[in-house]
Chain A
């Protein structure tokens, strides 16, 4: 007697993973292993890299992401709060923000390198560039969407302007800011890979690029899997943060 729950939840998972791996291995053995590295190759590559400098490469990329992300968020949240509160600030900044956010960060890479050299600063700048506008817009949206009756509740209990801001507006805006950060994280991963491929000499993106030029397809696969795993992990962290701070009913911008 097979448990019904097993059939509905675990089985499909196992099925699709098995199918994927099976198809992959088939392709690897039948088609040129250059296109589809065999699973053993991937496994071996992983160990070689792990014993080498894989960890430090990952760390380099993560540090760049967190630095750019951190600085940009620290700037973006107050600006978003200001834009949501003072109409003049909104009118002045809304135009530029709504334009700059549509510039793909990677398009700035040539400028960034020209300004900062092919260094960490250039890459951190790109990450920051992608983060700052998204977080600003989402934070501002959080302020705009504060429920009117909550503001009034605060007022009718005697709260002054700053007290209402601290007790009502800020808690309402935080989940929105976190959602913006979650979205930015995803964008940051894309950007870091591209940037390191183009103009880096270390990091995960560089690893991928190097693996391609040296045709070490096993390494490519390792790099990609790592990216997926780390990306998923950070996304889960942010999702947990959003839930923790009451963002269930909040949409993203």
Chain B
């Protein structure tokens, strides 16, 4: 059996000083190499917590978080993170400089850096915008820079925390398609957090729905077999949508109580 790209085994996470209930309890999830997994759930169910643990920003209170069979002990370029919103870009650097932050940290030679920048700007469709500062870029463009930024380190995995949540519907749709296109080139394993069922069905190989928090864990997973690129009006997706949405609605009700 091949080693999973990422695995959560019996993970629990308690935050000190926030009341006694753990955010996550007995959280189990496996992500295979090359698999695109969407984590769905109502607000406050701990999806971001799970991602933080895999990213290495935080440690589990109990249980194990593994990346390629080895425990996660801290953040690293092998698990690139795309954050929600735009406050993780450095406003004092241009788009290209932001993109090249990883190579710069690794002291990659300048010539190679420039080539990387050109290649990635083309990949995410931002040729010609490299010298702009984040404040001059639209929301969609900033998210694309974030994607380019993590790809510059050729990560094993992509961890994406509701990256398109703050964008308008049109941009979101466009970026979803772009993401699938970009992902198809190298097919890293992906953990993608969202609360939008449509989005999950367009992007994921597998959708994991979480229970409402606290003490949350994965309630059920759905396999999505439709070939990519997916058609949003495909009736097979509509059937999946109905099923998943029902579960989500139940969890949403439980969260409200």
When the two chains form their complex, are residues B57 and A152 in contact, meaning their CB atoms are under 8 A apart?
yes
A149 to B106, CA, bound (A): 20
A152, A163, A171, A245: which contacts B90 (Cβ < 8 A)? A171
C-alpha gap A152/B79 in the complex (Å) = 12
- Known A152-B81, A154-B101, A155-B57; contact A168-B90, beta-carbon cutoff 8 A: yes
* A113 contacts B by Cβ under 8 Å: no
User: Closest A-chain residue to B81, C-beta based?
Assistant: A156
**Separation of A147 and B85 alpha carbons in the complex (Å):** 12
Q: In the bound complex, what is the Cα–Cα distance between A45 and B161 (angstroms)?
A: 69
Chain A residues contacting B75 (CB-CB under 8 Å) are 152, 155-156
- Assess the A153–B101 pair: CB atoms within 8 A: yes
Q: What residues on A are CB-neighbors of B80 within 8 Å?
A: 156-157
Q: Which residues of B contact A (CB under 8 A)?
A: 55-57, 74-77, 79-81, 83, 85, 87-92, 101-102, 104-106, 149-150, 153
B153 near A158 with CB under 8 A, answer: yes
The 29 sampled A-B contact pairs (Cβ below 8 Å) are: A149-B85, A149-B87, A149-B88, A150-B87, A150-B88, A150-B89, A150-B90, A152-B75, A152-B83, A153-B88, A153-B89, A153-B149, A154-B105, A155-B56, A155-B57, A156-B56, A156-B76, A156-B77, A156-B80, A157-B77, A157-B80, A157-B102, A158-B102, A158-B105, A158-B153, A159-B105, A163-B105, A171-B92, A245-B92
Across-interface contacts of B79 in A (CB, < 8 A):
156
Task: Write the nearest CB–CB distance from A247 to chain B, whole angstroms.
Answer: 10
- A167 interfacial contact with B, CB 8 Å: yes
Q: How far is the CA of A147 from the CA of B88 in the complex (A)?
A: 7
| Chain A contacts for B74, CB-based, 8 A | 155
Shortest Cβ distance from A74 into chain B, in angstroms? 23
In the bound complex, residues from chain A placing their C-beta under 8 Å from that of B57 are 152, 155-156
CB proximity of B104 to chain A, nearest CB, Å: 8
A153-B81 contact, Cβ under 8 Å, with A158-B105, A163-B105? yes
Name which of A149, A167, A246 has the most chain B CB atoms within 10 A of its CB: A149
Closest to A249 in B: B91
- Select the residue from A153, A155, A159 with max chain B CB neighbours within 10 A: A153
> CA A227 – CA B205 in complex, angstroms?
70
Residues of the A chain whose Cβ atoms lie less than 8 Å from the Cβ of B101: 153-154, 157, 167
Assembly CA distance A245 to B133 (angstroms): 13
Residues from chain B with a CB closer than 8 A to the CB of A154 are 101, 105
Chain A residues near B153 (CB-CB < 8 A): 157-158
Pick the residue among A150, A152, A158, A167 that contacts B106 (CB under 8 A). A158
A158 to B106 alpha-carbon distance, docked (Å):
8
Residues of chain A within 8 A (CB-CB) of B81 are 152-153, 156
Contact yes or no, B83 A149, CB < 8 A: yes
Contact A158–B83 (Cβ < 8 Å):
no
- Measured in the bound complex, the distance between the Cα atoms of B59 and A211 in whole Å is 70
Chain B residues whose C-beta falls within 8 Å of the C-beta of A167 in the assembled complex: 90, 101, 104-105
* Residues of chain A within 8 A of B89, CB atoms compared: 150, 153
Q: In A136-172, which residues have CB < 8 Å from any B CB?
A: 147, 149-150, 152-159, 163, 167-168, 171
